[in-house]
Amino acid sequence: MNKPKNPLLSVFTVYAICFFFRFIEYFFIQTDRSFWGEAFIHKLAGIVVLCVTVKVFSLRAQEIGFIKRDIIKRILQGLVFGFAVFTVAYGVEFALVASRGGQPALQLYVSSYDVDGNIGNQTGLLFFAICIFGNIINVVMEEGVFRGLFQKLLEQKYKFITSAIIGSVLFGVWHVIAPIRQFTEGGSLGGMLANIAMLISTSAIVGFQFAIMTKMTGSLYMAMDAHFVNNAIVNMLHMVSDTGVDELMFVRISIAQMFSVVVVLIVYTMKNPTSAHQADNVHFPFSHS
């Protein structure tokens, strides 16, 4: 590896380039408002940036977490863990809607996430395929950049926790683009600030959780698939009642994220791995080993 002279500056430079592509797509191309329903172009650009940066620093894919060993096991761990925490979250939401006199039920269809709630209702197989493929691109780019590349570069100078916090804060800021766009289109300043505060805090916490998952497993794949479930299930599985659709979506997401963060932190605190070898020996809940 060609160690960067200033790891933080290198991270900020890559981040600025990726954010520039994100800005262009959200404000000008607006793929998420098109037939595709997904803002995926800047994610593809981010994957290209990731590959170029890896080459510049003479890194290998394995060095930033794309490890082939135990890949199926890690993928299954991420999927099972993600579905488990959302099972709890949907159960709580179901009970809350029922307690308010609603008639809750689950429906499967594809929608696009918006800061004010999901929009659209598509049931064709093509839209499910687009949603799944778009979310795969999303997690490969975001986990590869934030938990893979950034963590590797920052740990050349900082300890794991410090590096994870820096990457997680950047991941939180990464999500401010949607409420900013909404404000420029006539939204309220208060609404924008509230959404920005909520998105930065929740995304940073979840990003920190994914960093710990990556540390404990020694690869990106468990975090990648937990991240995939976190995003895809919001787009495809909806709580409907006689009073509306996904009215308590934010509550559901918050419960799932906080529950998963608590579980991950408890396991990490108990095991506290200090090397990739030790991390690989940590048996995470829902492990098949």
Quote the pLDDT of residue 281. 44
Task: DSSP letter for 31, please.
Answer: G
Residue 69: what are its φ and ψ, rounded to 5°?
Answer: -60, 130
Can you list the residues of the chain whose pLDDT is less than 70? 113-120, 273-289
Q: What would the pLDDT profile of 236-287 be if each residue is shown by its tens digit?
A: 999 999 888 999 998 999 999 999 999 999 999 988 745 444 444 444 443 3
Quote the pLDDT of residue 200. 96
Quote the pLDDT of residue 118. 54
For residue 254, with 0-12 CB atoms within 10 Å meaning exposed, 13-18 middle and 19 or more buried, which class applies? Answer: middle
From the CA atom positions of the chain, what is the Rg in Å?
Answer: 19
Quote the pLDDT of residue 141. 98
Amino acid at 3: K
Query: Would you say 260 and 212 are in contact if contact means Cβ atoms under 8 Å apart?
Result: no
Quote the pLDDT of residue 285. 40
Q: pTM higher than 0.85 for the full model?
A: yes
Question: By C-alpha distance, which of 36, 197, 64 is closest to 141?
Answer: 64
Find the DSSP H helices in the chain: 7-24, 41-56, 71-99, 125-142, 150-154, 160-173, 177-184, 189-217, 221-236, 249-271, 276-280
Amino acid at 91: G
Report how far residue 206's alpha carbon sits from residue 196's, in angstroms, rounded to the nearest whole number.
Answer: 15
Quote the pLDDT of residue 35. 86
Q: What SS3 state is found at 238?
A: strand
Quote the pLDDT of residue 278. 44
Query: Would you say 149 and 15 are in contact if contact means Cβ atoms under 8 Å apart?
Result: no
CA 209 to chain centre: 10
Report how far residue 155's alpha carbon sits from residue 270's, in angstroms, rounded to the nearest whole number.
Answer: 23
Of the chain, the end-to-end C-alpha distance in Å amounts to 33
